[in-house]
Amino acid sequence: MRDVRAIALVALVVALVVISFVVDLPGGDEIRSWVHGAGAWAPVAFLLLCAGGTAAFFPKPVLATASGLLFGVLPGAALAIAGFTAGALISFGIGRLLGREAMERRIGGSRLRTLDEVFAKNGLAATLVLRLLPVIPFAASNYGAGVTAVRPALFALGTALGLVPTTLVAALLGDAVLDFGSPRSIAALAAWLVLGAVGVLWGRNLLRRVGGTA
């Protein structure tokens, strides 16, 4: 499933590149003016979408990229991080209510054992690191964390901090998505690819240290 989502995201980016060259699309500023025309409801609706989408296993990179397109880099990233953190806490609470047996059926026993090992070492650092890496899918780690020993406050703080770099890069890519070919868009795409590659390598190293499997 993780590979399918990654392929889908790459396909979306490629499709947007092609569309941007063959279709007369509105610019980012024009799109944001439409969003701002909706008033305070637009950011509230987007925040709720991020929270609900996170709990419903919707691909986080898609929403993070949309945040930059709709609201600009910093406001969009702030909204996305707040929404993702809220959704992570919702999933965390559901996981804790359902219990370990239900989570093992949902996300797999091997992934849950990996989460146990990682969170047992340092709850805050482990949460932060997992947010930087594609080791375990974001939604799965949220639900699984609910049945580990990590404290909710540390989980929330680690989630919010760990989401900052990846969400900012995705928002930057979204902000430049209709301006492909510009130095800004090339830099954003390069940063996104580099961050993903670093995450994969770091994740493998983390899993080797705890002796688990993704």
84-134 pLDDT, tens digit per residue, is: 999 999 999 999 998 888 888 877 777 788 778 777 767 787 788 778 766
Q: How many CA atoms lie within 13 A of 170 on its CB side?
A: 25
Per-residue pLDDT for 10 more than 80? no
- Tens digit of each residue's pLDDT (9 = 90 or more) over 48-73: 999 999 998 888 888 888 898 888 88
Give the pLDDT confidence score for residue 213 in this predicted structure.
Answer: 43
Q: Pick 9 or 98 by higher pLDDT.
A: 98
pLDDT at residue 208 tops 80: no
Alpha-carbon gap, residue 159 to 38, rounded angstroms = 30
pTM of the model: 0.73
Least confident of 93-102, 166-175, 199-208: 199-208
Residue ranges covered by each domain of the chain:
2-210
The band of 205, judged by pLDDT with boundaries at 50, 70 and 90, is low
For 18, what's the count of Cα atoms within 13 Å in the CB-facing half-sphere?
6
- With a cut of 80, say whether residue 147 has pLDDT above it: yes
Residue 187 confidence (pLDDT):
74
Average pLDDT of the chain?
Answer: 77
142 with 60: CB under 8 angstroms? no
d(CA 63, CA 49): 8
| CA pair distance 11, 114, nearest whole angstrom | 30
SS3 assignment, position 59: coil
pLDDT greater at residue 157 or residue 20:
157
Greater confidence (175 vs 181) lies with 175
